[in-house]
Each structure stands twice: as C-alpha cells, then as structure tokens.
C-alpha cells in the first residue's frame, strides 16, 4: 500500500471516529476494528406494537466493546433471547456466519416467527458494519442500481366522502406508481358469490379511473381456490390490467398455484406469509408467480433478502415487498436500491406518517422512497421515547455447531 492510500484510510478513520461512528481498537485496511466483539444487545418495545409478530416494530440495538452500535427492528422476546444470546462475544462483522448460527443453532431449523427476530438482528449487524465504514448499506450491497424506489399505496385516502375512484385518482396524482385496494369485506362473514361480484365491480371502476398498471387488487386469501380462479378469470376476460393480483389463496400449499397458473393470466404476487428462500423455491423455479412479496425482517434480514432477490432475478420475477416497521422499510430501500430487477415497495397511506422515536428514518417524497448517503441504514433512534424489554449480554447456544476445514458452518 502506498503512502497516499495509507493517509486516505487514516484520514477517513479519523473522520469516522470524530463523528462517533466508531471507536478504533486497532483497525484493518478497511478501517474496521480487528478484535472487536459484540458486548450486549438491547431490545425495546416499538410504539404502537402489533399483536402479530409479522408486523413487529420492536427496536434492536447491538453494542460492541469498541463502542460501535447497530440498529435493527422486529421480532418478539422469546425468540429474540435465543438468537441474541448466541451472538455475545463474537466478531460483529461476520454477518453471514452469524445468520447460519442463528438458523442452525437449535434442533429445529428456524421457523417463520424466529426468522423475524433473527432478521431484525441481521439488519442491526448490517447497520453496524456500514456505520463502521462510514457508508450507507446500499454501497455494501453493490451500489445504486436505481435512483429511487417506486411505491404502491395501501389505504390511500382520497377526498373526504369520496369514492374508491376518487382515492385511486388522488393516489396516482400524489406520485405513487400503484393504488392497491382489497376485497372490502367488513362483515366477518364471507358471502362468496357477492364478494366475487362486488370485488370485480371495484376492479372495473378503478381500471377506468386510472388505467393500465396503476392499480392492484389484494384477494387477501379470503377466497377458496374455485372463487379465486373465478375472480381472476373475470379480470382476464374483461381485459383489465392490474399491476399485480395478490395472495389469491392461503399459503399452506404453494403447489396449488400449479393449477391456478394454468387457469389465469393475471400477474400473480405472493409471499407475504413466507420466510426464507426455501418457502418460495418451487414457485420461482416453475414460473408460477410474477412477483415475490417477502419483506424485511421477516425473511431473515438483508443477508437472506439479497439471496432471494438473486433467485428472483434468475427466474425473471420482480420484488413487491410488504411493509413492516419503519426501520425495516428503510432497510428495504437499501435492498431494492442495490438490485435492478422490477421492484415496488408498499407504503401505508400517503406517506405522511412520522415516528416520534425516529428523528431520521426513510426519505419519502413525491410518492417515492429515495436512497440517502447517511451511514448504515440511515436511521436515528431516540431511545428516550422507547421502553426497554430486555438486555442480552451473556453467551449461550443451544447446541455446538460443526465447521468444515475452511471455517464455514456445516450441520450439527
């Protein structure tokens, strides 16, 4: 390494230390501390907590011995304890290795609820590493492949007293790419024939109001397969053009889409209830869907999401991630920014919602989300606005894991 390179690295390291991004304890050529270890993991209840794990906005903070901090989001206390304890005392920068440890560390491979906790920790590890290097996470994932991320809006409100047509028009005028609506069954009792007819009529109205591709419909898994196929076929025959049709049936048996795909040409988007890549492997390989809807941190974090994105690109399938909490939404911007395949993120309402505990989060304007140059995930947390659930600072592991000669994990 020449003198100029050394000076550049040291200057950058000094600037990062001065900014409080990290406290060096001896650094490698990249500027990362060489002997740093995870000291503690702090877990906080997110405001307005959802009873469902899949939409948890609980906040995670990983702290290292050198003073590095990484922010993540998601999970629930029982599975968070299991995953977090297995990281204490370890090198914070071996992100993929830690993902493998948390997935394999108990007798049963991590299920979808545990993946949510594991994924939240994974977000925090990526945030921590990118902050240590003084770069946004999207730089570590490959750099920008797009300038902004387009959005579809769920629950966009039109003018007071207006119709679904008014809401769809207002959504388009606000800069959103797609207005998304659902079956609008508010009774709790499904009249299958009426629900199909009513939903079809809404599709006709919105298509006429905003045109091809500016709308989508969520079947919300409310239909049995026969009725889902009937409604999709009605959309086909009327030559309507939604951007996507979402979750036609329940998710227990993905193989059912082998039959459905033969009976309708609508662009199908599924995956809101899925976890990691094995949940969707068959759907992708057999070309049964057009878009995958897995999201962060539910699938297991950024480490797994980028592998799913690579699978999707291989099979010409786009990304239409469901929303979760605001920090995870910010992380999705980094993931989508770093891939060039079709991507469309979900936003609730008109994007005007703010969060008291997040002075800085994602950057929203003109109906789109924009990557920024802030280090890490670009998120700042005011912890005085949060209540701590737990702190994990003692190592424990369910079972010993075996390694190959090269140091990578194999099975227990």
Task: Assess whether pLDDT exceeds 70 at residue 361.
Answer: yes
Task: Report the pLDDT value the prediction gives residue 185, as an integer from 0 to 100.
Answer: 79
Cα-Cα-Cα-Cα dihedral sign, residues 83, 86, 89, 94: negative
Task: Report the pLDDT value the prediction gives residue 412, as an integer from 0 to 100.
Answer: 62
CATH 3.30.390.10 in the chain is located at 3-133+385-392
What does the mean pLDDT of the chain come to?
Answer: 91
R_g (Cα) of the chain, nearest Å: 22
Residue 315: exposure state from Cβ atoms within 10 A (0-12, 13-18, ≥19): middle
153's tokens: 């809006």
As a whole number of angstroms, the distance between CA 148 and CA 146 comes to 6
Task: Report the pLDDT value the prediction gives residue 188, as an integer from 0 to 100.
Answer: 78
Give the 3-state secondary structure percentages of the chain, helix then strand then coil, rounded to 5: 35, 15, 45
Task: Assess whether pLDDT exceeds 60 at residue 258.
Answer: yes
Give the pLDDT band of residue 51 (cuts 50, 70, 90): low
Please identify, in words, the CATH class of the domain defined by 3-133+385-392. alpha beta
CATH 3.20.20.120 in the chain is located at 139-370
Task: Assess whether pLDDT exceeds 50 at residue 388.
Answer: yes
Cα 387 to chain center, whole Å? Answer: 24
As a whole number of angstroms, the distance between CA 100 and CA 231 comes to 42
Q: Please compute the mean of the pLDDT values over residues 141-156 and round it to a whole number.
A: 97
HSE-up (13 A, CA, CB side) for residue 233? 10
Query: In the CATH scheme, what is the homologous superfamily, with its name and number, of domain 139-370?
Result: Enolase-like C-terminal domain (3.20.20.120)
Task: Report the pLDDT value the prediction gives residue 168, as an integer from 0 to 100.
Answer: 98
Q: Are 94 and 156 in contact (CB under 8 A)?
A: no
Cα 204 to chain center, whole Å? Answer: 31
Quote the percentage of the chain above a pLDDT of 70.
92
Strand stretches in 312-380, DSSP E: 318-319, 345-348, 363-365, 368-370
As a whole number of angstroms, the distance between CA 240 and CA 205 comes to 10
Give the H/E segment covering residue 44: strand 38-45
Torsion angles phi and psi, residue 86, rounded to 5: -75, -5
The SS3 call for residue 71 is strand
Give the pLDDT band of residue 137 (cuts 50, 70, 90): very high
Give the pLDDT band of residue 411 (cuts 50, 70, 90): confident
Task: Assess whether pLDDT exceeds 50 at residue 394.
Answer: yes
């Amino acid at each position: 390494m020449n003198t100029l390179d050394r000076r550049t690295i040291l200057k950058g390291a000094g600037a990062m230390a001065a900014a409080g991004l990290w406290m060096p304890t001896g650094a490698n050529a990249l500027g990362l501390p060489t002997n740093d270890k995870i000291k503690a993991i702090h877990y906080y209840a997110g405001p307005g907590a959802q009873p469902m794990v899949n939409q948890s906005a609980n906040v995670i903070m990983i702290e290292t011995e050198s003073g590095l901090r990484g922010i993540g989001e998601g999970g629930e206390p029982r599975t968070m304890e299991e995953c977090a304890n297995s990281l204490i005392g370890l090198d914070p920068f071996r992100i993929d290795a830690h993902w493998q440890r948390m997935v394999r560390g108990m007798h049963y491979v991590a299920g979808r609820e545990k993946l949510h906790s594991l994924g939240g920790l994974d977000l925090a590890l990526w945030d921590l590493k990118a902050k240590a290097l003084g770069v946004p996470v999207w730089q570590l994932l490959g750099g920008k492949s797009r300038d902004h991320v387009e959005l579809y809006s769920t629950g966009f409100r039109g003018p007071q007293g207006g119709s679904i047509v008014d809401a769809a028009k207002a959504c388009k005028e606000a800069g959103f790419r797609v207005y998304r609506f659902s079956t609008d069954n508010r009774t709790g009792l499904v009249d299958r024939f009426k629900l199909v007819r009513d939903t079809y009529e809404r599709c006709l109205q919105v298509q006429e109001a905003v045109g091809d591709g500016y709308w989508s419909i969520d079947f919300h898994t409310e239909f049995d397969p026969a009725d889902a196929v009937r409604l999709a076929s009605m959309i086909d025959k009327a030559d309507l053009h939604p951007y996507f049709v979402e979750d036609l049936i329940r998710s227990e048996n993905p193989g059912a889409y082998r039959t459905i795909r033969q009976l309708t040409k609508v662009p199908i988007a599924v995956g809101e209830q899925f976890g990691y890549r094995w949940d969707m492997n068959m759907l992708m390989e057999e070309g049964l869907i057009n878009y995958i809807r897995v999201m962060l941190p539910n699938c297991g974090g950024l480490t797994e999401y980028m592998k799913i994105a690579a699978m999707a690109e291989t099979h010409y399938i786009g990304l239409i991630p469901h929303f979760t909490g605001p920090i995870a939404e910010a992380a999705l911007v980094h993931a989508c920014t770093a891939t060039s395949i079709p991507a469309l993120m979900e936003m609730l309402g008109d994007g005007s919602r703010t969060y008291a505990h997040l002075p800085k989060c994602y950057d929203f304007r003109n109906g789109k989300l924009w990557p920024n140059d802030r280090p890490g995930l670009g998120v700042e947390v005011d912890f005085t606005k949060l209540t701590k659930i737990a702190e994990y600072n003692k190592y424990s592991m369910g079972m010993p894991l075996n390694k190959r000669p090269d140091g990578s994990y194999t099975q227990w």
